[in-house]
């Protein structure tokens, strides 16, 4: 197969941890051709979605890639187009999904589907599964969040478009910075954010559960917060621990898996704290390398095998 990865600049990827690198290595090991580009390389000419992309040689080691050639190609000439650009889901990101929708109309197979990337906000998607979530409120009004805080006493607030724990705060009624935090996150009452009841089970980790083409990966990656921190995200200094799925983890994952597949979400990363679903990640879910290193279950190979099928 010819597989195109749309991702951040290759020089910015970390070969020891990035799931995109693991995917590319697995693809090359299994005999497939690997190409890459950024969203800035996408274009449309006479109704055909094109990309200026690089054909790559892939290696195992710190120097993990070399560019073989650079060409202008039609997106529908690839067997799979994998959208792996990190959030924020801003105007540039959304415009890229529009070009990818043109590519889909030309016959390209884009994963995850562009419409799914636009429609499935990674924070708001959990509202489709109210039985699995903690008490949650979405609003731009700081007074509404104050009322939610008064009801629950200890809450998490977060923006709807970021990743890696960016912009997440834990608030209590006595926090002296409460008003400033809410003013900043809501842009003085103009932008909706999410508030959720604080879950003490975060001490045991924010579990990442992966879904690949409607199948549940049998291991979760618990991201354990560092001392003095409430965020388990690895980008925020969390420690990764692979572990078997609990009965509740599997219930959540097996309920969401068919919904994800039906909505064109080939790869999803569910975030679960304790017994509660907190996010459904669809832009660039991670955790492949940590799960593989700790369990021997090759997540990247499973991903490529699913592409082959």
Which active-site residues does the annotation give?
Answer: 123, 158, 208, 223, 231, 271, 279, 281
Q: What sign for the dihedral angle of Cα 43, 44, 49, 55? A: negative
**Cα–Cα distance between 130 and 107 in angstroms, integer?**
36
DSSP structural state of residue 194: E
**Cα–Cα distance between 224 and 203 in angstroms, integer?**
7
> What are the strands, taking DSSP E only, across the chain?
2-6, 33-37, 42-45, 48-58, 65-74, 80-83, 110-111, 136-139, 154-158, 169-172, 193-197, 206-212, 215-224, 239-244, 267-273, 276-281
């Amino acid at each position: 197969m010819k597989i195109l990865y749309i991702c951040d600049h290759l020089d910015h990827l970390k070969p020891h941890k990035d799931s995109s690198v693991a995917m590319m290595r697995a693809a090359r090991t299994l005999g497939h051709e690997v190409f890459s580009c950024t969203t800035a390389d996408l274009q449309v000419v006479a109704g055909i979605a094109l990309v200026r992309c690089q054909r790559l040689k892939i290696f195992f080691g710190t120097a993990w890639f070399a560019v073989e050639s650079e060409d202008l190609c039609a997106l529908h000439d690839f067997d799979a187009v994998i959208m792996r650009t990190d959030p924020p889901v801003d105007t540039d990101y959304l415009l890229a999904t529009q070009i990818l929708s043109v590519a889909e109309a030309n016959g390209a197979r884009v994963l995850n589907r562009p419409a799914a990337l636009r429609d499935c906000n990674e924070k708001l998607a959990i509202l489709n599964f109210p039985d699995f979530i903690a008490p949650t409120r979405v609003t731009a009004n700081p007074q509404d969040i104050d009322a939610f805080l008064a009801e629950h006493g200890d809450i998490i607030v977060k923006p709807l478009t970021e990743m890696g724990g960016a912009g997440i705060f834990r608030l209590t009624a006595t926090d002296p910075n409460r008003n400033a935090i809410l003013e900043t996150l809501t842009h003085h009452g103009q932008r909706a954010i999410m508030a959720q009841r604080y879950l003490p089970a975060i001490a045991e980790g924010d579990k990442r559960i992966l879904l690949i083409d409607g199948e549940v990966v049998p291991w979760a990656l618990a991201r354990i917060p560092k001392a003095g921190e409430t965020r388990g995200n690895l980008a925020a200094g969390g420690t990764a621990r692979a572990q078997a799925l609990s009965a509740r983890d599997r219930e959540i994952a097996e309920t969401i898996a068919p919904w994800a597949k039906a909505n064109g979400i080939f790869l999803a990363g569910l975030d679960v704290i304790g017994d509660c679903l907190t996010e459904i990640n669809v832009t660039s879910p991670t955790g492949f390398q940590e799960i593989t290193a700790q369990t021997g279950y090759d997540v990247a190979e499973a991903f490529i095998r699913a592409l082959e099928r």
